[in-house]
Structure 1
């Protein structure tokens, strides 16, 4: 009788333990199974860069794609000081000083104390007389001008106008200089004249200005680019 009761108790315990073991096994498999990846995450192919961001080639400086115009452009150095590529990286005062054909102008700008003024200016156009242009002025008269800072400053200001002027802008009307005078430009294509001075090569870009090389000095109070003795007569 005791053995029968003991056997019945063991059987009952075995049957009760089976579902618990099965549940434990199932729970362990559920715990170890990896969680599925979220279905709303973008795939790598969807994570493209924004299409409205400018490429490096779009972020160019003003005037970087402008082409020089004028019969004298062919004589410009192809590289180094005085070349279009070199001028484009520098402010205008520094660019003029580095150009071998503009050493007389650079000397005048320095004597007037205008180098930093030109370098700090924003968006201007400079008509830059070459060395040959200064050579047209008799030496004694040029020495007198160079020794008179106020007069020299006035003359140099007569070569600067506000705004970057492309060739097509030059003939739109008289240009008002920083010295308060006016300059009239005529011509088209590769042939332009400012006053009586020929533009040898223009539309040259610096970091803050557009430059036109001219063959005569432009004097205040006269459209003509005469020497001081001619303008007084």
Structure 2
């Protein structure tokens, strides 16, 4: 009888010890799982060092930049996502230029180019040309193409590499003078009003005068 009681007591003690051990293991597993989940959450959290998605105008310069819309297709952020001809079509300063590019059939040519620098005359720049003369130019596709390609240079040039003699896609040479945030184009004929505007395939410098051949 005593031996039976001892056996039962020993069995009970073993069961109790096993239960405590399992409970401890379960607690450790839960802690491990919890720690794993926390680590996963931390790895998925965005870091503050990621670049902002709305800083396309951060490197632009010039008084004319204040005339660029804050948002929409014609804003710096909107233009940055489109090829240059499409980007210009949303800019309220470049309506006449966009019309001229369309008349010359250069939209696809400019949009498909790998890298360009474009000196883009404003509507006010085109308004300096007598209306009769401007209409004649718009009606002459060959002359219009020559004029427009005379505003375009191969490669995307930043302000630090803009000064000097540049060969245009029309085959002529224009000289850019200046540095930092002050530039003139073609023997100081035109001033850069807003510079270093990014598009998906070009860098744009808005100017106040049409460069005539």
Normalised by the length of structure 2, the TM-score is 0.72
For residue 67 of structure 1, what is the aligned residue in structure 2? 60
For residue 148 of structure 1, what is the aligned residue in structure 2? 140
For residue 106 of structure 2, what is the aligned residue in structure 1? 114
Change (3 A) 1:47 1:118: same
Q: Residues of 2 paired with 1:156 and 1:182: CA distance?
A: 13
For 1:84-135, what per-residue CA distance to the aligned partner results, in whole angstroms no more than 9, with x for missing partners? 4554454432332223332110101111232344344444321001223223
The structure having more radius of gyration, on CA atoms, is 1
| Aligned 8 A contact 1:185 1:192 in 2 | yes
Q: CA RMSD in A?
A: 3.6
Structure 2 residue 9 is the aligned partner of structure 1 residue 22: yes
Shift of 1:138: 4.2
Match of 2:88 among 86, 96, 110: 96
Match of 1:164 among 145, 156, 161: 156
Tell me which stretches of 4 or more aligned residues in structure 1 moved more than 6 Å: none
| Aligned 8 A contact 1:92 1:208 in 2 | yes
Secondary structure of the corresponding residue to residue 68 of structure 1: coil
Match of 1:194 among 162, 185, 194: 185
Q: Residues of 1 paired with 2:52 and 2:64: CA distance?
A: 30
Q: Residues of 2 paired with 1:180 and 1:186: CA distance?
A: 19
For 1:12-32, what per-residue CA distance to the aligned partner results, in whole angstroms no more than 9, with x for missing partners? xx2442343123212321332
Q: Residues of 2 paired with 1:133 and 1:18: CA distance?
A: 109
Secondary structure of the corresponding residue to residue 203 of structure 2: strand
Normalised by the length of structure 1, the TM-score is 0.67
Q: Residues of 2 paired with 1:158 and 1:31: CA distance?
A: 88
Unaligned stretches of 5+ in structure 1? 1-13, 221-233
Secondary structure of the corresponding residue to residue 183 of structure 2: strand
Higher helix share: 2
For residue 198 of structure 2, what is the aligned residue in structure 1? 205
Change (3 A) 1:98 1:142: same
